[in-house]
Amino acid sequence: MVMEGETTTLKRNLTEWRFSQYPKYILLPIDENHDQIKSNVKNVVFTEVTPRPLERDIHLVCYSEDTLINILDMDPDIVNRDEFAEFIAGRKLPYGALPVAHRYGGHQFGLWVGQLGDGRAHILGEYVNRHGDRWQIQLKGSGQTSYSRVHDGRAVLRSMIREMIASEACHFLGIPTTRSAGLVVSEETVVRDMYYTGNPRRERAAVLLRMSPSWFRFGSFEILSRTGEVTVLRQLADFVIKEYFPDIHLTDENRFIRLFSEIAHRTLDLVAKWQGLGFTHGLLNTDNMSLLGVTLNFGPFGFVDSYDGGFVANCSDGEGRYALAKQPDVVVWNIGQLATALKPLLSSSQQVHMSHILKTLDTYCKNKILETFLMKVGLKEERWGDEQLIEKLLDMMQQTGADFTSTFRQLAEVYKLNDIFYLRI
């Protein structure tokens, strides 16, 4: 929504709109030698690399008016200009762009897989909007980078539509998330095996314009810790504190413990919101866990329909590691890997302190989830027996195949009609 008097601040073309002149990430090590795959690169956080534009018959598929107005300060009429589609396609980069790919590692399905990195995404630059909020602008599907692995750096239309819809839906549902501004498609095609059945087919390539306050993830610390790059690890941790956790002072000798605690609790607050809305992230690897506690990367995901704690949103997750009911435990495990990554920065006594924090996370997470569900059934104060109440409700929903969202909507109607709370008795 545009407030009266703000319309004059909205930019109508890309000549008026520009990135911040100096993105904060230039303070971190950036590799400028980007002509080869970075399988063994060390002591860098980013690699400078230019997007490979889509070329054939670019079309704007959809856009988010809210994101354009309230994050990018763009007049929605900008979408009618060819330059807007060219911007998303990677053809026309506004003034101030400094495209980089981020280097990180990760645990995938519980196993350390080493160096990963942005294989098909380019952070273009940073933008500080009229509200004073700083956002990192990124293209996804914009071609190979130094960290590309098996595929060609492209994304397909169906997956980008899903991410666009999901990220914007999560935002309006109150789930902290990355945002999406627009999506273009080309006549250029790529080969994908949608269901991993050995039957690949050609699909149209697409690029998504998305944004986040930061694209750092657990794996950003993990790769530096695992490879012994302690100096860069400390530099990155201090950078994250200064830019994203202003309540922590860089002079505080316990700053890394406080950073860990903040990230851990923000992340568990996020999981509680997921559980309360039946959202299932199908690929909860550590490289998909944001340091800021926002929902990051919508590959396989789903909102449960008929309630089932075993609901899996990823067809390649045959063992159900990332099932809906297992998400809290998986995320606590991931936070444990973050703790391990930060250990080289801690003294012996600080490591003991961190181990004490880790022991409290299961209880914290269960309490946040219970609080979330109590609010959903209209109970504002927790009392003895409420945990069993919610367990019985979810068990009954699973046994009867009740729709997750409709059940709570109908409970709300019951409360309105009868003003009853005898479920506590």
pLDDT, tens digit (0-9, with 9 covering 90-100), for 341-382: 999 999 999 999 999 999 999 999 999 999 999 999 988 888
DSSP 177: B
Among 25-34, 132-141, 230-239, 286-295, the range scoring the smallest mean pLDDT is 25-34
**349 vs 315, residue with greater confidence:** 349
Contacts of 289 (CB under 8 A, 6+ apart): 217, 218, 219, 267, 296, 331, 334, 338
Residue 34 pLDDT: 57
Task: Give the mean pLDDT of 9-32.
Answer: 94
| pLDDT of the residue at 423 | 47
- Residue positions counted in the chain: 425
What is the model's pLDDT at position 420? 46
- The answer for residues whose C-beta is within 8 angstroms of residue 414's C-beta and 6 or more apart is 420
For residues 254-260, give the mean pLDDT.
98
Residue numbers annotated as active site? 287
**Strand, helix or coil at 281?**
strand
Q: Mean pLDDT, to the nearest integer, of 107-132?
A: 96
Lowest average pLDDT, out of 1-15, 20-34, 270-284, 393-407, goes to 1-15
pLDDT at 33 over 70: no
Per-residue model confidence (pLDDT) at position 21: 83
User: pLDDT tens for residues 186-237?
Assistant: 999 999 877 777 788 999 999 999 999 999 999 999 999 999 999 999 999 9
Share of the chain above pLDDT 70, in %: 93
Radius of gyration in angstroms for the set of CA atoms belonging to the chain, rounded to a whole number = 22
β partners of residue 290: 217
pLDDT at 390: 96
Q: Which residue has the tokens 């319309």?
A: 7
Convert the pLDDT of each residue in 140-194 to its tens digit.
999 999 899 876 899 999 999 999 999 999 999 999 999 999 999 999 999 987 7
In this prediction, residue 413 carries a pLDDT of: 78
Q: Are 141 and 206 in contact (CB under 8 A)?
A: yes
340/38: higher pLDDT = 340
Q: pLDDT tens digits, residue range 51-92?
A: 999 988 999 999 999 999 999 999 999 999 999 999 999 999
Q: Is 267 left (phi over 0), alpha (psi -120 to 50) or beta?
A: alpha
Write down the pLDDT at residue 65.
98
* CA gap 413, 408 in Å, rounded: 9
Q: What are the structural domain ranges in the chain?
A: 7-212, 218-375
Q: What is the mean pLDDT of the chain?
A: 93
DSSP helix/strand/coil, 165? helix
Per-residue confidence (pLDDT) for residue 419, from 0 to 100: 54
Between CA 89 and CA 179 the distance in angstroms is 17
Q: Is pLDDT at 259 greater than 60 in this prediction?
A: yes
Mean pLDDT of all residues in 400-408 = 96
Of residues 186, 224, 177, the one with CA closest to residue 204: 186
pTM, to two decimals: 0.93
What would the two tokens of residue 306 be? Answer: 């008929």
Give the range among 2-16, 137-151, 245-259, 343-357 with minimum mean pLDDT. Answer: 2-16
| 155 in Cβ contact with 61 (< 8 Å) | no
> What CA–CA distance (Å, rounded) separates 224 from 232?
7
pLDDT at residue 25 tops 90: yes
pLDDT band at residue 115 using 50, 70 and 90 as cut-offs: very high
